[in-house]
Amino acid sequence: MAKRLSSQKLLKNNVLDTQLCTGCGACVGLCPYQAIYNDRTVQLHYCDLTEGKCHVYCPRTPTDFESLRQLLFDAKDLTPEIGAVKAYYLTRAVDPEIREAGQHGGSVTALMELALAEGLIHAALVSSGNDQYLRYGTLAADKNTIRKSAGVKFIVSPMAAAFNQFVREYQGRAGVVATPCQALALAKMKLNRDKDETGKIKQLQLVIGLYCGWALSVEKFSALLAQKSIRIDDIKRMDIPAGKNILELYTAQGVKEIPLEEAQACVREACNYCIDSTAEYADISVGAARFGGTVDEQRGWNQLIVRSQRGKDLIDLAVKRGVLEIKEAPAESLRQLKVAAMEKKKSALKNIARKSGSAKKLLYLDNRDVLVRRILGV
């Protein structure tokens, strides 16, 4: 009988070597053999375990999406385009200081601060950077650290690795900010935890997902910046203003602009195979308010999807405590979001089929899954 490949070998063959790895970090920190190097995940030593969690938690290995949806959401809330929707709003932080520090309306920062202040979590896992421009998950146990980590760079920050480290070192409850691929990895941890590890997954109290179009490869983007004589460690924040085809880089010397086309040539290969733009497996998902209104009306606001009961409870509390301002989003905004999300799904499926050489071989996706079938139009 043929020898079964180890989980680590499967991860290497099917995810790392095929450039499907999103850099989420779910396979890092479970054992000493997997590590993060710059924005890449590398294997340091061979392991022959065949039921390894590294393979099970990875968002780019086969996933039982149906069981995940059943575990996390109300069936009546599910939509094929953007996952579960209990409610959909435009929101922003009431505190002007948070809005000033935040990427768009500061909703993520305001919600994490509230969850911490109310004792729902003992720590927020947010993203921080170093002088070399790389991002990593940071444990924030006070509101100043959460606030200092507001704002975004479109570079992978391995938040699932930060959660693995948190449960290894602490007993308390955590809230995690996560991109869609990371929220999926965290959801797979909830679904697949061994019985002896249920205590650890109970520590994961809250996942606030970020909408995500793509993330940049550090290597490719650094080369582009070098051509333009922009120092990578000068960049504090990045944004793509609505309606403009530019990537803005906020630096100590002011805002520098790069044509979006040039930045998009630096996108991580793995993002081309991503079907999720709204963090479908989070409790709450937050993005820029890009649809249904003028650019000025949208500036400084977030779109926010409430997905789970836990997410709803937090939003209700945020309104009660006066930390989040909420407007009903125009129906047109939700319609446009769904169209954009479905476009990303279709384009990813095309890329996956091109990569595998067959429309029937969808790599980490299962063409029998009901939502995959909806994307395929069958």
Ligand X SMILES: Cc1cc2nc3c(=O)[nH]c(=O)nc-3n(C[C@H](O)[C@H](O)[C@H](O)COP(=O)(O)OP(=O)(O)OC[C@H]3O[C@@H](n4cnc5c(N)ncnc54)[C@H](O)[C@@H]3O)c2cc1C
Residues that bind ligand X (CB under 6 A): 102-109, 126-127, 135, 149-155, 157, 159, 177, 179, 210-213, 215, 286-288, 290, 302
Q: From the list ligand SF4, ligand X, none, which binds 155 (C-beta under 5 to 8 Å, kind-based)? A: ligand X
Residue 127 Cβ vs ligand X, minimum distance, rounded to whole Å = 3
Query: CA–CA distance from 121 to each of 171, 188, 245, 301 (Å)?
Result: 11, 21, 39, 25
Q: From the list ligand X, ligand SF4, none, which binds 302 (C-beta under 5 to 8 Å, kind-based)? A: ligand X
Q: From the list ligand SF4, ligand X, none, which binds 180 (C-beta under 5 to 8 Å, kind-based)? A: ligand SF4
Residue with Cβ nearer ligand SF4 (181 or 318):
181
- Residues 77-105 as b/e (b if ≥16 CB within 10 A, e otherwise) read bbeebbbbbbbbbbbbbbbeebbebbbbb
Residue with Cβ nearer ligand X (48 or 100):
100
Side chain identity at residue 340, one-letter code? A
Q: From the list ligand X, ligand SF4, none, which binds 307 (C-beta under 5 to 8 Å, kind-based)? A: none
Residue with Cβ nearer ligand SF4 (45 or 231):
45
Residue 251 Cβ vs ligand SF4, minimum distance, rounded to whole Å = 23
Residue 179 Cβ vs ligand X, minimum distance, rounded to whole Å = 5
Residue with Cβ nearer ligand X (102 or 293):
102
Query: CA–CA distance from 257 to each of 45, 235, 244 (Å)?
Result: 42, 12, 11
Contact residues: ligand SF4, CB under 6 A:
11, 15-16, 21-27, 41, 57-60, 179-181, 185, 212, 214-215, 268, 270-271, 274, 276
Count of CA atoms in the C-beta half-sphere (13 A) of 32: 1
Q: What are the E-state strand segments in 104-183?
A: 123-129, 135-140, 174-178
Residue 128 Cβ vs ligand X, minimum distance, rounded to whole Å = 7
Residue with Cβ nearer ligand X (47 or 181):
181
Q: From the list ligand SF4, ligand X, none, which binds 210 (C-beta under 5 to 8 Å, kind-based)? A: ligand X
Contact 109, 143 (CB under 8 A): no
Residue with Cβ nearer ligand X (271 or 362):
271
Residue 76 Cβ vs ligand SF4, minimum distance, rounded to whole Å = 26
Q: What are the E-state strand segments in the chain?
A: 34-37, 40-43, 78-79, 83-84, 87-93, 123-129, 135-140, 174-178, 204-210, 235-239, 246-251, 254-259, 284-288, 302-306, 324-328
Residues 340 and 336: their CA atoms lie apart, in Å, by 6
Residue with Cβ nearer ligand SF4 (159 or 258):
159
Number of residues in the chain: 378
Q: Which two tokens stand for residue 96?
A: 């002007």
Task: Pick the closest to residue 146 from 183, 176, 168 (CA basis).
Answer: 176
Residue 137 Cβ vs ligand X, minimum distance, rounded to whole Å = 8
